[in-house]
Structure 1
Amino acid sequence: MDKWIELVKAKMSELRITQEKLAERLAMSQGGVGHWLNKRRQPSLEDMNRVLRELGMGFLEVALVIRETETAKTDDEADEDEMPLAQKYNPYFRYPVSDWRGLCEVREATAATYGKGRSELSDYHARGPAFWLVVVGDAMTAPSGPSIAQDMLILVDPAVEAVPGKLVIAQWSGSAEATFRKLIEEGGQRYLVPLNPTYPKALMTDDCQIIGVVVQATAKF
């Protein structure tokens, strides 16, 4: 909510739009807009999107907090604190939506083919040729804690190191489809474990290839 308010105020300043003018565009009172921007009332997701659309900024997505921890800032990155808020909080990158079959080929994507077809936006700046997948089934739907439901979008970055504790996309040689699991280590052995306890875990063998690490999960409303 705080970032939405900062972003809206920054964009209003950039476009030189007053609260009164924005309220007029939204067909509501200036006081109503002021309540939102001063945190006296909580707008619905629909209302937040209405405001963003009127400011020419697209729409919001509800995103789970499943992201890679950022590394220490460089001198250039440290300067981000001085950036205009509209630029700081609106960094979008477009990544292709892939199919679960033949995913090993994704790692060999070239500039000539990468990004063709359907794509989706994210504020995650990928280290490698990242891609989205649409979750199939309920193996990663947990009864409590982090849970990734069917039909959610997951963003996979092949350049992130797959260490125990990460959610990963893996594929066994000879298998046509990849699988989405959590990588864990027990007694010196690595396993691929579903978040849904009704599914079995699998020992990670030499013929199993990690395709990438899941760095974000989103659901659109």
Structure 2
Amino acid sequence: MDNWIALVKANMKDRKVTQGELAERLGMSQGGVGHWLNKRRVPSLADMNRVLEELGLGYLEVVQEVREKTSQASPPATQYNPYYRYPVSDWKGLCEIREERAAYGAARFELTDYHAQGDAFWLPVTGDAMTAPSGLSIAAGMMILVDPAITAEPGKLVVAQWANSAHATFRQLLEESGQLYLVPLNPTYPKQLFTDDCRILGVAVQATAKF
């Protein structure tokens, strides 16, 4: 609930939407919206998602978490934990989609508890360039969540594109002797110099595997 309130307030501020304007969009009173945002009343999941939709955050979704009871004598209170859904992109159309900031093509989404700072998207990992013999390893078939608003610092896993290439690449950004490189986690692949004609499309913030 607290995360949902923080998300709604932050987006209302960014979009310069008042409580009155939001209430009008929802077809309810300003006081009702105020009760939700001040935790005097708890909105239903449907209402929480309706608010996100009206704020242009329809790609996000709040779902209820179901947990096993810890005690028969004192059942846990209902918890509303926000889960966010982000679109699944693909490598073929990634660069064009990032330029247009469009609707991500087919409407396929995946859920996560990560609250993105930007227009995040999922990408399926292909190939074994990021499969390491030990330590951090991102294998083919896994999904990475990419957040374009995260600062690409040395050590981060990034999705990047060269100006003369229609394709993007997934590598670790590392600094050596004052120079940046895009380095695969698989040591059998060569590292690449990060030059001025290369841009970062986003930073990988999560990786998941499906079974």
Q: Aligning the two structures, in what range does the TM-score lie when normalised by the shorter sequence? A: 0.5 to 0.7
2:167 and 2:110 mapped to 1: Cα distance? 22
Within the candidate set 113, 134, 155, 2:103 is matched to 113
Is 1:86 aligned with 2:79? yes
1:144 corresponds, among 111, 130, 134, to 134
2:87 counterpart residue number: 96
Letter paired with 1:195: L
Contact 2:86 2:111 in 1 (8 A): yes
How does the TM-score come out when normalised to structure 1?
0.59
**Shift in Å, 1:175:** 1.0
Q: Contact (CA 8 Å) 1:92, 1:124: kept in 2 or not?
A: yes
Aligned-pair distance for 1:103?
Answer: 2.3
**Cα distance, 1:121 vs. partner?**
0.8
**CA–CA separation in structure 1 for the residues paired with 2:93 and 2:164:** 11
Partner letter of residue 92 of structure 2?
A: R
Alignment of 1:28-67 (within 5 A): none
2:158 maps to a residue whose letter is: V
User: Deviating runs (4+, > 4 A) in structure 1?
Assistant: none
Q: Distance in 2 between matches of 1:181 and 1:99?
A: 16
Q: Structure 1, unaligned stretches of length 5 or more?
A: 1-5, 18-83
Looking at structure 2, the residues matched to 13 and 213 of structure 1 have their Cα atoms a distance apart, in angstroms, of 46
Higher helix share: 1
1:131 paired to 2:125: no
Name the Cα RMSD after superposition. Answer: 2.7
Task: Kindly tell me the number of residue pairs found equivalent between the two proteins.
Answer: 145
* Separation (CA, whole Å) in 2 of partners of 1:13 and 1:98: 47
Q: Deviations over 1:34-55 (max 9, x none)?
A: xxxxxxxxxxxxxxxxxxxxxx
Q: What corresponds to 2:28 in structure 1?
A: none
Query: 2:73 & 2:93 partners in 1: Cα distance?
Result: 48
> Counterparts of 1:142-221 in structure 2 under 5 Å?
142-221=132-211
1:25-83, Cα deviation, whole Å (9 max, x unpaired): xxxxxxxxxxxxxxxxxxxxxxxxxxxxxxxxxxxxxxxxxxxxxxxxxxxxxxxxxxx
Structure 2 gaps of 5+ residues are 1-65
Query: How far is the alpha carbon of 1:102 from its aligned partner?
Result: 3.8
Instruction: Give the structure, 1 or 2, with the largest relative contact order (CA under 8 Å, sep 6 or more).
Output: 1
Structure 1 residues 5-35: Cα deviation after superposition (integer angstroms, max 9, x where no partner): x93228x999x79xxxxxxxxxxxxxxxxxx
Q: How far did residue 185 of structure 1 move? A: 0.5
Question: Could you tell me the TM-score, scaled by structure 2's length?
Answer: 0.62
Please give the alpha-carbon distance, in whole angstroms, between the structure 2 residues aligned to 1:115 and 1:103. 10
What's 1:56 paired with?
A: none
